[in-house]
Structure 1
């Protein structure tokens, strides 16, 4: 069962670090995806595959939100330039869609690998009801 709390925490960590990472282009975003995926996997716990899954979801969510923000920015820029700008931004939209899908895959894969490591470092597995089992 997916621990959405872990996914959202990983996504938020990756987003905040990605914004701060704009000071170091490329490296900052790579580190943000890795750390966010690791956090998602660690919070979810449960081993390698569970960490991989939660890191994958956190990274994919980050990639989709990033692609959406880029698309909104280009759409608004085209809208301000009038009809010619709208045509140009519409044509550019297809390229942006392809770029957003590619970025989502890259962010999801790097976050998934880091999430697997996080899940491996936190082997405590929640029980089937979705909350942590009491430890006696």
Structure 2
């Protein structure tokens, strides 16, 4: 059973470290995914598989939220071009979201591995 509290903690940590990583060169998004996945796995406990699952959820949730925010931003900018621009912005934003979702799922693997390590260390 999924511990959504653990996933939420991991997501928040991923988001905060990622925001700091944008401002501090060298910290980056890789560190954010590793730290957030570790936190999710550590809070979830229960062994490798459980930690892997919770780290994966926390990492992919962060990427999907960022993708949705990009989609929204592009759609709003497209509204400056009127109804046709709004539709074009929405379609372009959806394309960006689709790419961001695939990248998020691939990048979530690092969070999943860190989550497995965190769960093992907490057992």
Q: TM-score, normalised by structure 1?
A: 0.81
Residue correspondence of structure 1 range 1-136 to structure 2 within 5 A: 1-24=1-24, 27-123=27-123
Show CA shifts across 1:85-116 (max 9, x none).
33542442343132122222123211111101
Unpaired runs of at least 5, structure 1: 124-136
Show CA shifts across 1:15-34 (max 9, x none).
11111111246851111111
SS in 2 for 1:81: helix
SS in 2 for 1:46: coil
SS in 1 for 2:46: coil
Larger helix proportion of the pair: 2
- 2:77 and 2:101 map into 1 onto residues whose CA distance is 21
Please, what is the CA RMSD of the aligned residues? 1.8
Which structure is larger by alpha-carbon Rg, 1 or 2?
1
Unpaired runs of at least 5, structure 2: none
Q: TM-score, normalised by structure 2?
A: 0.88
Count of aligned residue pairs for this structure pair: 123
